[in-house]
Structure 1
Amino acid sequence: MKIREVVISTTDLGAAADFYRNVLELPVVVGSDHVTVEIGRSRLVSTRGENFAGAHHLAFGISPDDFELARKWLGRQVELIAANGSDVIEGPPGWDSRSVYFRGPDGIVLELIAREADAGVPASSGEVPRMLSISEVGIGVPDVQQAVGELAEAYGLDAFTPRLPAFTPVGDHDGLIILVDRERIWFPTDADLPARASVAVRIDAPKGGGTLALSEAARIDG
């Protein structure tokens, strides 16, 4: 599965444009009511919206050969979120990944993730790590396992590991929809619940399933 586009709301278009352009050094186009960010083969669109509770979560993929570069560079740009005394966070069993986490506009929980599945991707040639795609999008839902079944039926997507009652990724190393219970705090923060705000995700999947509403605010288009 590949994540082609994610659309979320923001309370401040100017702050969103500034963060992605000047902090993460990504290509940004500003419109009258939205900001578009190119992230490798993916696109993030932030639209103007009202205040909301909770936080969105996105992960951007990088080459494993860029991980140390990314960690040092990002540490100069933002404050990294640590867990168990370290800002280098290993993925769950079966992921073969390392990540660094940080916050962005509207408190969004962002992550740069280096997966060994991308070991063949060349390292960046400059001082800024190249972001390959939106690797993950997190969505809070009323019933995680029901949502897992709906994604399997609509798009032919399999559950990834770990499959837990309140946390199950769906997809593969190329792209994951992270389904969580609405009351589950985003790791590695100590208080951030999933955003109670709109999120729309456009994917390439094994089969086309049209539009699927996972909640009153979350939509998948495949």
Structure 2
Amino acid sequence: MIIEKLVIATADAASLQPFYTDRLGLTLVHSERGSFTVRAGWSELTFQEPASGDYQGEYYHFAFTIPENKLPEAKQWIESMVPIGTEAGTDISFSESWNSHSVYFEDPAGNILELIARHTMSNGVDRPFDAKQDILCISEIGVPTLGVPAAVNRFAELGILTYKTRSSDFNPIGDDNGLLMVVETGRRWHFTNKTAESFPVRLKIQELGELYLKEEESGLTIEMTK
């Protein structure tokens, strides 16, 4: 599943932009009052101030894939700029079932970012880590909801199926290229002290179209346009 575009909310786009362009080194695609877009490999990431100005303290969890052999260098690069998350005395997350290593950190707006090296992918490179080249894509976006099984069933109708783990409170869907992390609202995000809260998300998935995801009283709603 290829995530081509991700659009999320922020309170102050102008103050956040330098973190992504100057510190992370992502290429600026577009910037205007109230929003900006950067390129992360094959994905575009847009931060948009709510049109009504009704900002609700939104924060999101999303991940960038990096070459599978570059986590040590990427960790050294990111921790020279920002603190990285720790858990149980370690600052590197290893998933045996996913065969991946990750590090977690936050941007100035409180979004939880992850650099993930997936050893199931043949994308290693034989050169020093370079963020401009080696942030390959947005490969995960968190989708919290109070009704995980119902949401997963609706996504399955669109052809987005469970990845590795199916449970009532944590159910990633998609594949190694791109995942929606469908989790129960209130569940703690890994390597942080923050809980998963539901905020609107817009994304474009290759060969599927644009989706607008929003939690309502009835559960997660999925609006789709081609």
Q: TM-score, normalised by structure 1?
A: 0.88
For 1:132 and 1:201, locate their aligned partners in 2 and report how far apart those are by CA, in whole Å. Answer: 17
Paired residues for 1:119-198 under 5 Å: 119-125=122-128, 127-128=130-131, 130-154=134-158, 156-190=159-193, 192-198=194-200
For 1:160 and 1:104, locate their aligned partners in 2 and report how far apart those are by CA, in whole Å. Answer: 27
Matching residue of 1:73: 77
Structure 1 residue 48 displacement after superposition: 1.0
Paired residues for 1:82-97 under 5 Å: 82-91=86-95, 93-97=96-100
Matching residue of 1:26: 26
What's the Cα RMSD here? 2.2
Structure number with higher helix proportion:
1
Matching residue of 1:99: 102
1:112 aligns with 2:126: no
- SS of the counterpart of 1:151? helix
Q: Which has the higher contact order (CA 8 A, sep 6+)?
A: 1
Deviates more, 1:171-180 or 1:158-167: 158-167
Q: Percent identity among equivalent residues?
A: 29
Paired residues, what number? 217
- SS of the counterpart of 1:71? helix
- The alpha-carbon distance between structure 1 residues 146 and 212, as it changes in their structure 2 partners (threshold 3 A), is farther
1:204 aligns with 2:181: no
Structure 2: state its 5+ residue gaps: none
Structure 1 residue 117 displacement after superposition: 2.2
Structure 1 residue 163 displacement after superposition: 1.5
1:41 aligns with 2:42: yes
- SS of the counterpart of 2:70? helix
CA offset digits 1:111-163 (Å, max 9, x no partner): 00000122334255555461000010001112011111111102x12101222
- SS of the counterpart of 1:105? coil
- The alpha-carbon distance between structure 1 residues 124 and 141, as it changes in their structure 2 partners (threshold 3 A), is farther
Q: TM-score, normalised by structure 2?
A: 0.87
